[in-house]
Amino acid sequence: MTDISLLPGWAMSAQSMQPLQQALAERLPQARIECMDLPPLQMSSLEPDLAALAERLRPGVLVGWSLGGMLAVQLLRRYPERFSAVVTLASNACFAARPDWPEAMPQAVFKDFYAAARQDQPRCLKRFALLVSQGSEQARSLSKAMPWDHADEEQRLHALALLAVLDNRRALSHSTVPMLHCLAAGDALVPVGVAPALQALNPGARIRINDQASHALPLEHPQWLAEQIGDFLAAEHD
């Protein structure tokens, strides 16, 4: 039996991964699939925070959306014996741009967003919901129905700061575990143009692009994702 753990993105609850959980259950009826909430996270305590998260996860396949995908790569780097494959959804190697990684959110844009989250987080979450769903044919309904987590404002700020500084390029380039990166052509947060750079980091990784999706990929196209993940896992077991 394959164990699959689903990790949500920043400010999202485990409920955000339930549509994908249901689609995967249909595609992989023998798998045991669990949606996990992200624990409180911050850079100063990242090692114990990730260790605690790893203890909650069954050994098997990690699937993470956005920040969840970046954390899945971090977990794989630390505990390679526990995870047989990693799938990232609308996730970048670096969420905020760097001079040598331009296909990401511009630093100035991120800093403005972080400042807005500090000043008025409820308003910031509404703006974030619009960004997550931007480019979707279901943008209005998606933005109004985002399944937010129950973290307090300080916890969200710590996680947001972590999102800015995480750099998975070395972990991705050194990984020997099978990886699948699913990207969305209409993503307003993770540019689809990052695909060649991700492929260059790890030539053995598979990359799939949904031409009609937004950053809300797991909410918007769970069946498509389930097919990509199912085919990926089947190919790795052949």
The structure tokens listed for 45 are 């305590």
Convert the pLDDT of each residue in 3-32 to its tens digit.
999 999 999 999 999 999 999 999 999 999
Could you tell me the CA-to-CA distances from 78 to 39, 50, 53, 191 in Å, in that order?
17, 9, 12, 27
How far apart are the C-alpha atoms of 49 and 203, rounded to whole Å? 30
Among 126, 116, 168, residue whose Cα is nearest residue 148: 126
Residue 117, pLDDT score: 96
pLDDT band for position 236 (50/70/90)?
Answer: confident
CATH number of the structural domain 3-237? 3.40.50.1820
Q: Residue 163 above 90 pLDDT? A: yes
CB 42 within 8 A of CB 97: no
pLDDT at 150 over 70: yes
Q: What's the pLDDT at 238?
A: 60
> What would the pLDDT profile of 36-81 be if each residue is shown by its tens digit?
999 999 888 999 999 999 999 999 999 999 999 999 999 999 999 9
Note the pLDDT tens digit of each residue in 165-193.
Answer: 999 999 999 999 999 999 999 999 999 99
Question: Which pLDDT belongs to residue 1?
Answer: 72
Position 74 scores a pLDDT of 96
Distance CA 133, CA 142 (A): 6
> Could you give the 3-state DSSP secondary structure of residue 116?
helix
pLDDT of residue 27: 97
Residues recognised as catalytic: 66, 187, 215
Q: What is the pLDDT of residues 105-120, one digit of tens each?
A: 999 999 999 999 999 9
Count of positions (residues) in the chain: 238
Name the residue among 213, 167, 183 with its Cα closest to residue 87: 183
Q: How far is CA 116 from the centre of its chain?
A: 22
Give domain limits for the chain.
3-237
Helix (H) or strand (E) holding 61, with range, is strand 60-65
Phi-psi region of 105 (alpha: psi -120 to 50; beta: other; left: phi over 0): beta
**132 contacts 93 by C-beta, under 8 angstroms:** no
